[in-house]
Amino acid sequence: MAADAPRFRKRIVDITIPAGQTSKAVNVGLGGLKYARLVSIFAKITTGSDATTILQLADTKGIVFLDAAAKDYTGAGLRRIPVQDETRTGLTSYTYVDSTGAALAGTNMVLPQPVLEGPLTLTWSSATAGETLRVELLLEV
């Protein structure tokens, strides 16, 4: 394998909602690295059956992934490959610009995922106390 070939790292996190709460945030380290690019997210409820939950991922600069509406992570779970659209709805950490520094305002654009700065924070909301969500982040490092 060439020295400049992409390398990947999988981070696996189990999030359990504590009694009396409806959300939980956990820090996710990058395994000794400061930067990584998010390739995919797989999430599955391993304990429980709440079919209306929301997952959010943030780096040190702000939100980089946010479910637009409640999702059903029960059953086989969901594999997500986030790409950023030009509206970046709900995302606060960056703005895509052209070579003059003007914000991009095109339509039907698919933009590359930015490099994330660790540690990351995963937040799982609208879940029932005692339920557990397993999240697998595939990162390019």
pLDDT tens, residue by residue, 44-102:
999 999 888 999 999 998 888 888 788 999 999 999 887 665 445 555 455 666 666 77
Q: What is the share, in percent, of the chain residues with pLDDT greater than 90?
A: 49
- Reading the block at residue 84, the tokens are 């950023």
- Neighbouring CB atoms inside 10 A of 133's CB total 25
User: Is 8-83+108-140 a domain of CATH 2.60.120.380?
Assistant: yes
Whether 137 and 120 have beta carbons less than 8 Å apart is answered as yes
- Neighbouring CB atoms inside 10 A of 21's CB total 11
Domain range summary for the chain, segments of one domain joined by +: 8-83+108-140
Does the pLDDT at position 36 exceed 90?
yes
Give residue 96's pLDDT: 66
Give residue 86's pLDDT: 47
Q: What is the share, in percent, of the chain residues with pLDDT greater than 70?
A: 76
As a residue count, the chain comes to 141
Give residue 11's pLDDT: 95
Does the pLDDT at position 27 exceed 90?
yes
Mean pLDDT along residues 105-113: 61
Does the pLDDT at position 106 exceed 60?
no
Q: What is the mean pLDDT of the chain?
A: 83
Handedness of CA 31, 16, 133, 124 (dihedral sign): negative
